[in-house]
Structure 1
Amino acid sequence: MSEENQQPPLIVNGQYIKDLSFEVPNAPRIFTEMDGQPEVPINVDVKAVAVGERFYEVTLHFRIEGRVKDKIAFICELDYCAVVTLNLPEEHVNPVLLIEVPRLMFPFARNILSDLTRDGGFPPLMIQPLDFAAMYRNRELANQAQAEAKDATKN
């Protein structure tokens, strides 16, 4: 057996907060205007970069802007990262980096965001599980459409 086959296909070497920001730009007045849950649209992006042979950094980027009526209640940004080692055939690398690794990281990031919003004076933010496979498929379809459009403009 080769050394590559003896290694696990995915090793999570570490997880960490790379960047974290929480602000309440309309404090303290916003707390007097709240009557229930703020409206909270959540934007999520996943990125992966190679940091060495078989080592990758995967980043879950969250941007959350809570609103009460027409005012910003809070702005939260989190870059939650993991460094992983992959021992996989090349064709499996991107799906594992952009689907499986974020799926493993998500509960930790969700907990950070829940604690952060609670500690910031708002109801704890409970983000529902995300479909990273659908996000990956949508990204692949967008990349394919962009490539086709680029080819069409060359002709």
Structure 2
Amino acid sequence: MANGNGSGAAPDSAPAINAMVQYTKDFSFENPNAPRSLGPQQNPPNIAIQVNVNARQVADTDFEVNILLEGSATVDAEVLFKFELDYAGLFRLLNISPNDMHPVVMIECPRLLFPFARQIIADAVRGGGFPPLYVDPIDFAALYRRRLEEVAAAQGGAQAEAT
């Protein structure tokens, strides 16, 4: 019997990612040299951003996924602003194969969280007296692949030392 969407699969067997809740775990914005830093600058700021993704399983089908974004804007040696954001979501993953679970948690879940984290940062920077900072889109698949390569290289190095 069809489920009404044109496929013959039962509706409860389709893979699903459900965002149960999203939340800010920790957030800090610093504007250490205001109001001096809010005036015109001779040079454009140097903006540095670091991204990290963490996840932990909290139930059979539920995972908490965190995006950690740290950034700063400097001109010469002067800090204009700094921020740290730990933005998280609780995701329920249903009917996803065990082989696909880790990539879904580490790529797709952060991809769903990112636009909200991006807006929090933009609003905070604007509230600090600067033009909003819209963090460029992040390729979470590339970050995931790079992390796998780092782990493989570390394991390969450890195995080489053991022999």
Of 10, 21, 27 in structure 2, the residue corresponding to residue 14 of structure 1 is: 21
Contact 1:33 1:68 in 2 (8 A): no
Instruction: Check 1:29–1:131 CA distance in 2 against 1; reply closer, same or farther (3 A cut).
Output: same
After superposing the two structures, state which structure 1 stretch, 90-99 or 25-34, moved more. Answer: 25-34
| Cα displacement (A) at 1:4 | 10
* Alignment of 1:108 onto 2:116: yes
Of 23, 36, 55 in structure 2, the residue corresponding to residue 29 of structure 1 is: 36
Q: Which runs of 4+ in 1 moved over 3 A?
A: 3-8
Structure possessing the higher radius of gyration over alpha carbons: 2
Distance 1:90 1:83 in 2: 19
Q: Percent of pairs identical after alignment?
A: 39
| Cα displacement (A) at 1:6 | 3.4
Distance 1:147 1:105 in 2: 30
* Alignment of 1:66 onto 2:62: no
| Cα displacement (A) at 1:32 | 3.2
Of 59, 63, 66 in structure 2, the residue corresponding to residue 56 of structure 1 is: 63
* Alignment of 1:93 onto 2:106: no
Alignment RMSD:
1.9
Instruction: Check 1:122–1:10 CA distance in 2 against 1; reply closer, same or farther (3 A cut).
Output: same
Cross-structure match for 1:47: 54
Q: Deviations over 1:111-133 (max 9, x none)?
A: 11111100111110011111111
* Alignment of 1:84 onto 2:91: yes
| Cα displacement (A) at 1:36 | 6.5
Cross-structure match for 1:145: 153
Which consecutive unaligned segments of at least 5 residues does structure 2 have? 1-9
Which consecutive unaligned segments of at least 5 residues does structure 1 have? none
Contact 1:30 1:68 in 2 (8 A): no
After superposing the two structures, state which structure 1 stretch, 34-43 or 131-140, moved more. Answer: 34-43
Instruction: Check 1:37–1:122 CA distance in 2 against 1; reply closer, same or farther (3 A cut).
Output: farther
TM-score (norm 1): 0.91
